Chains A and B, each alone.
Chain A
């Protein structure tokens, strides 16, 4: 078909055009520049040629096999084109994407690459409706139409940007790591920070824990740099500064961050973590928390408070409620039995089960109340991780696995939700898979959840997006669309910690590099920010009272 188009084009358009040009001397048709231009024009013209829907195609009983699988998903009305590849073998392919409103999109070939403008027109026209996909396969000179695929178009937009870290699912070594941002309405991707420019030979640099205040509405965010030029980079008011959050009175520098939504504060866990490796289990890596506490960093006064530093409680993954009145976090109760906690937990790691707790916070007094257990996962024989409160404050989204809290390496990890109004807890069945689901986060309107899933191959995490409707039900997720349908197949890195942003990070890479290259300002320790009663090692953990739906 393409050959036919080329012949037609050359005979009807290109040749007469070439001959009609007022060319002479050096500007002849043999001129490579001119010839190149004509070829480019020809390609562009071909690209814009219309493709006909095969007539008299027979009906097939089966659905077409496509990858990525976008069938029966709910998609945002502003998402980038869902390019896909048809896996069924055929001599020729035609795909028609259509809805009740708008112009049909017809694409020829096995690789279904959709023009961004046409796609958005069609999506906008069918907001709240349904898109359908007809795939025609040509075999032995006869066309066949597969069963129609469909996807629902939601009413609610998705945040325009996400950011994530690209890193191999590696063990100890690292080489090239970058924190990137991607426009979800098209395929634009930019590097926010790459560790390469400041690495040299064996002097490497790790970057992690990018975190934004209020979906980056005010362009305030932070990330950690480890090893060479280590420190925490905090970006505010278009300026970046690097601080060293480690004090003599705290366990480590800041690790997992949570920006306070209204105050200039960041809550961090401070962790003593280590990695060990499974000899047989395909999960391969275990990241163990050998001890962890919570601290609060007051950015304006450059000082760190202890939120909780109980010896037998391992507290991690802080998350603020949308109004900033409550700090949620995970906590495991573990009483050390020997002098060597590392060796002890290497064999007892499955006994570390984390509950979700909360402490109320008074920004005026900078004080936290005593801890309260929100969800007793241990009582279920499970372990919770990464609590995230929906923007309307109604839902608590978290990961639940058999043990531990670094669930990205746990195949048992699934996404669960707690309705904070009814205390009911349930798994997001449609969003989950046999493989790991973790690093979840809400969109700013609470209708979309993005998370890292290993469902494609069990090893490389990919960003999946699912619709969370008004009734609190998750729908079948879809992988973040890419321009090339072979993108994920040929990418040997994981998408780590996808975070929604309403606008992109604007600070330049050069400015970040300059900051990272500079000295890290030390912070001062300002004591405890908790009620005195919380210093007790006896935490009151209520019996499980939640209604659990499986």
Chain B
């Protein structure tokens, strides 16, 4: 008992006098900081440490993740969006959470808002459940778990349909605790019952699951009052059912009691995503159980107990006897927080492919093609197909694909996600189709995904651009009007609104003009079945004619598909445009295909001596190692020829798309 001042006034007197003492305290509640120097030190110290950890784990490690979160988070300051929120329980939690998540488009702002929300959550846990001394560190557990709940998601951010999982958990828990506080604040029987009715009848539509969670916390707070608890349980079960049957038409049966919790499945590996949520909730429940006011001391059943620090019981007394005060306690406090932080860091998503994809995707949106290539060049891991496709798109936009596209590693690294999905389509379809001139298909996948996941701003932005490319200005205006109501989308709206009012500006837009040059094809009925890469490759490979850019793209797709005939037809068509220098990879392909089939005489073509020599060297080394298997040869030849089309042709095979 180092720090008696932290303990709740253990009094040698009887229960009655303690009650009086507590009532006095109730009327004159001291600010937390004044109660104990150690207490305020803990709180300040922990809050500082926690803020650093929060910022490090969000803006520090994954700013692009925050931006993507905002791009995938629908929030519009208008009646239409509010109506969507109102169509399910937990409308206020959903609306506020989506609003805050939309700030993440400015990662600093989003991270700070996130940190502040988590600090409020921790402070409320301390305040409402009267955590004292070293135990206050428990208050950071729900906040830390909330961070982990967000940072563990990775690819899952694309497939979750629940509103703003990043903010809905902390905001919801804050709401739950505030609702419990409201109950504790006024110790009158009529208020207890009014609170119960309001909590269920009004609280459920506004806060959904979190109103029911608050109800559970109230039950814990009032656990000996069986009549109250019985009615509370009946209301807690029946009110959501009544709303489901008679009010809500947009809710699924499985959501009645859980919305707006994250919609993780309980199957396969995905159930593990529930762990941080469960720990956060369980910690709050534990704090509620250990909270002094939850333990009965009043002789009158059914009457709310006045709150008191010293009034209750053994659990509280035993808690206060733990050696968690003083400087040692502070050390323990910090160590616990650090241990939690390390735990969160370890279990957070750290998939480098995912981070690369986000960086590339955002660079594509910004039209920063060199940044896309730089990400590919600096990557330390074999790429996913999304990275390969973004990289090839960037090279094509930079006009360097013919010289460099086979110099990069090609592979089909897995999208490491708890839920299997067509991630290439979800993450990249809108951009790849748009920039490759398949505007209708870009629009299609925005629409399909919007149907599935809501009015995500990124979809509306690409739908706007597609509509403008198709000359559908009224449609573009509709999307822009909606985007005008989304925070921080003003620049986009301003830029593209000007295109509606002054269509000639589109003629000056290099991005749009580049896309137009790839749209020189006839309409046909088609479908991609969600296989974006296969569709793009086949579609361009089979294209005949069109702009020079299209013919070149077709040539490259035939090379990727290893279609020799397709290559020659387009190569010969483009040959007069090459002048003195045939791009490197085309030289390599011409030399290779000529050697394989001997159909065309390339002796008069300006093939670099270096290319010829390297090819001869490849032939010699292949002959020398002909007894080895393909895999061994691939390893052996990669250092010397891994940057050539030949290596791609012979050794890169069996890649799985999506």
Give A residues with C-beta under 8 Å from B: 168-176, 178, 191, 194, 196-201, 275-282, 284, 286, 346-347, 349, 456-460, 484, 486-487, 489-492, 509-510
- Shortest CB–CB separation between residue A105 and chain B, in angstroms? 23
Q: Which residues of B contact A487 (CB under 8 A)?
A: 80
Q: Which residue of A lies closest to B482 (CB)?
A: A490
Q: How far is the CA of A174 from the CA of B450 in the complex (A)?
A: 10
Q: Is B244 an interface residue (CB 8 A)?
A: yes
Contact yes or no, B525 A349, CB < 8 A: yes
Q: How far is the CA of A491 from the CA of B80 in the complex (A)?
A: 7
Contact yes or no, B451 A175, CB < 8 A: yes
Contact yes or no, A509 B478, CB < 8 A: no
Q: Which residue of B lies closest to A456 (CB)?
A: B474
Q: Which residues of B contact A458 (CB under 8 A)?
A: 472, 474-475
- Shortest CB–CB separation between residue B52 and chain A, in angstroms? 39
Contact yes or no, B441 A279, CB < 8 A: yes
Q: With contacts A200-B254, A278-B440 known, is A346 near B525, CB below 8 A?
A: yes
Q: Is B17 an interface residue (CB 8 A)?
A: no
Q: Which residues of B contact A460 (CB under 8 A)?
A: 478
Interface hits, B108-127 → A, CB 8 Å: none
Contact yes or no, A196 B452, CB < 8 A: no
Q: Is B621 an interface residue (CB 8 A)?
A: no
Q: Which residues of B contact A275 (CB under 8 A)?
A: 527
Q: Which residues of A contact B471 (CB under 8 A)?
A: 282
Binds A, one of B144-152, B198-206, B245-253: B245-253
Q: How far is the CA of A281 from the CA of B521 in the complex (A)?
A: 11
Other A-B contacts than A199-B252, A346-B526, 9 sampled, CB-CB below 8 A, are A168-B447, A196-B250, A200-B253, A279-B440, A282-B440, A284-B443, A347-B524, A489-B80, A489-B478
Contact yes or no, A279 B438, CB < 8 A: yes
Contact yes or no, B244 A197, CB < 8 A: yes
Partner of A276, one of B80, B448, B526: B526
Q: Which residue of B lies closest to A288 (CB)?
A: B525
Contact yes or no, A286 B253, CB < 8 A: no
Q: Which residues of A contact B78 (CB under 8 A)?
A: 486, 490
Contact yes or no, B519 A280, CB < 8 A: yes
Q: How far is the CA of A53 from the CA of B539 in the complex (A)?
A: 64
Q: Which residue of A lies closest to B88 (CB)?
A: A196
Q: Which residue of B lies closest to A491 (CB)?
A: B80
Q: Which residues of A contact B265 (CB under 8 A)?
A: 201
Q: Which 7 A-B pairs have the closest CB atoms?
A: A490-B80, A280-B523, A194-B249, A276-B525, A191-B249, A457-B474, A173-B448
Contact yes or no, A280 B440, CB < 8 A: yes
Q: With contacts A279-B526, A458-B475, A489-B478 known, is A168 near B451, CB below 8 A?
A: yes
Contact yes or no, A173 B252, CB < 8 A: no
Contact yes or no, B523 A279, CB < 8 A: yes
Q: How far is the CA of A460 from the CA of B452 in the complex (A)?
A: 17
Q: How far is the CA of A460 from the CA of B471 in the complex (A)?
A: 16
Contact yes or no, B521 A280, CB < 8 A: yes
Q: Which residue of A lies closest to B82 (CB)?
A: A490
Q: Is B509 an interface residue (CB 8 A)?
A: no
Q: Which residues of B contact A489 (CB under 8 A)?
A: 80, 478, 481-482
Q: Is B477 an interface residue (CB 8 A)?
A: yes
| Per-position binary interface string of chain B over residues 425-454, scored 1 when its CB falls under 8 Å from any chain A CB and 0 otherwise | 000000000000010110110011111100
Interface hits, B466-499 → A, CB 8 Å: 470-472, 474-475, 477-478, 481-482
- Shortest CB–CB separation between residue A203 and chain B, in angstroms? 9
Q: Is B522 an interface residue (CB 8 A)?
A: yes
| Per-position binary interface string of chain B over residues 67-87, scored 1 when its CB falls under 8 Å from any chain A CB and 0 otherwise | 000000000101111010000
**Chain A interface secondary structure, helix, strand, loop or mixed?**
loop
Contact yes or no, A279 B524, CB < 8 A: yes
Q: Which residues of B contact A459 (CB under 8 A)?
A: 472, 475, 478
Q: Which residue of B lies closest to A180 (CB)?
A: B249
Q: Is B101 an interface residue (CB 8 A)?
A: no
Question: What are 10 residue pairs bridging A and B, where the CB atoms are less than 8 Å apart in the complex?
Answer: A168-B451, A170-B448, A171-B444, A172-B448, A173-B452, A196-B249, A201-B263, A278-B524, A280-B440, A284-B443
Count CB-based A-B contacts (< 8 Å).
122
Contact yes or no, A284 B249, CB < 8 A: no
- Shortest CB–CB separation between residue B56 and chain A, in angstroms? 35
Q: How far is the CA of A460 from the CA of B479 in the complex (A)?
A: 12
Q: Which residue of A lies closest to B438 (CB)?
A: A279
Q: How far is the CA of A424 from the CA of B266 in the complex (A)?
A: 64
Q: How far is the CA of A94 from the CA of B591 in the complex (A)?
A: 79
Q: Is B394 an interface residue (CB 8 A)?
A: no
Partner of B251, one of A173, A197, A346: A197
Contact yes or no, A278 B523, CB < 8 A: yes
Q: With contacts A278-B525, A280-B519 known, is A173 near B451, CB below 8 A?
A: yes
Q: With contacts A169-B447, A282-B470, A347-B525 known, is A197 near B253, CB below 8 A?
A: yes
Q: Which residues of B contact A279 (CB under 8 A)?
A: 438, 440-441, 521, 523-526, 539
Q: How far is the CA of A171 from the CA of B470 in the complex (A)?
A: 18
Q: Which residue of A lies closest to B471 (CB)?
A: A282
Contact yes or no, B470 A194, CB < 8 A: no
- Shortest CB–CB separation between residue B531 and chain A, in angstroms? 14
Q: Is B219 an interface residue (CB 8 A)?
A: no
Q: Is B455 an interface residue (CB 8 A)?
A: yes
Contact yes or no, B440 A486, CB < 8 A: no
Q: Which residues of A contact B444 (CB under 8 A)?
A: 171, 277, 284
Q: With contacts A282-B470, A458-B472, A490-B482 known, is A176 near B521, CB below 8 A?
A: no
Q: Which residues of B contact A178 (CB under 8 A)?
A: 249-250
| A172, A277, A279, A286, most chain B CB atoms within 10 A | A279
Q: Which residues of A contact B455 (CB under 8 A)?
A: 492
Partner of B522, one of A169, A171, A280: A280
Q: With contacts A198-B253, A199-B252 known, is A457 near B447, CB below 8 A?
A: no
Q: Which residue of B lies closest to A198 (CB)?
A: B253
Q: How far is the CA of A280 from the CA of B440 in the complex (A)?
A: 6
Contact yes or no, B441 A277, CB < 8 A: yes
Contact yes or no, B79 A490, CB < 8 A: yes
Q: How far is the CA of A196 from the CA of B89 in the complex (A)?
A: 14
Contact yes or no, B448 A171, CB < 8 A: yes
Q: Which residues of A contact B79 (CB under 8 A)?
A: 484, 486, 490
Interface hits, B397-451 → A, CB 8 Å: 438, 440-441, 443-444, 447-451
- Shortest CB–CB separation between residue A277 and chain B, in angstroms? 6
Q: Which residues of A contact B477 (CB under 8 A)?
A: 457
Q: With contacts A276-B526, A277-B527 known, is A282 near B253, CB below 8 A?
A: no
- Shortest CB–CB separation between residue A138 and chain B, in angstroms? 25
Q: How far is the CA of A433 from the CA of B221 in the complex (A)?
A: 65
Partner of A281, one of B244, B254, B523: B523
Contact yes or no, B250 A170, CB < 8 A: no
Contact yes or no, A276 B527, CB < 8 A: yes
Contact yes or no, B452 A175, CB < 8 A: yes
- Shortest CB–CB separation between residue A354 and chain B, in angstroms? 18
- Shortest CB–CB separation between residue A389 and chain B, in angstroms? 33
Q: Which residues of A contact B443 (CB under 8 A)?
A: 284
- Shortest CB–CB separation between residue A224 and chain B, in angstroms? 19
Partner of A194, one of B81, B250, B451, B475: B250
Q: With contacts A171-B448, A458-B472 known, is A196 near B251, CB below 8 A?
A: yes
Q: How far is the CA of A198 from the CA of B83 in the complex (A)?
A: 22
Q: How far is the CA of A349 from the CA of B521 in the complex (A)?
A: 19
Q: Which residues of A contact B522 (CB under 8 A)?
A: 280
Q: With contacts A168-B450, A284-B444 known, is A277 near B526, CB below 8 A?
A: yes
Q: How far is the CA of A414 from the CA of B78 in the complex (A)?
A: 34
Q: How far is the CA of A459 from the CA of B447 in the complex (A)?
A: 11
Q: With contacts A197-B253, A277-B526, A277-B527 known, is A282 near B448, CB below 8 A?
A: no
- Shortest CB–CB separation between residue B283 and chain A, in angstroms? 28
Q: How far is the CA of A197 from the CA of B444 in the complex (A)?
A: 27
Contact yes or no, A197 B80, CB < 8 A: no
Contact yes or no, B440 A490, CB < 8 A: no
Q: Which residues of A contact B245 (CB under 8 A)?
A: 509-510
- Shortest CB–CB separation between residue B348 and chain A, in angstroms? 26
- Shortest CB–CB separation between residue A341 and chain B, in angstroms? 14
Q: Which residues of A contact B251 (CB under 8 A)?
A: 196-197
Q: Which residues of A contact B83 (CB under 8 A)?
A: 490
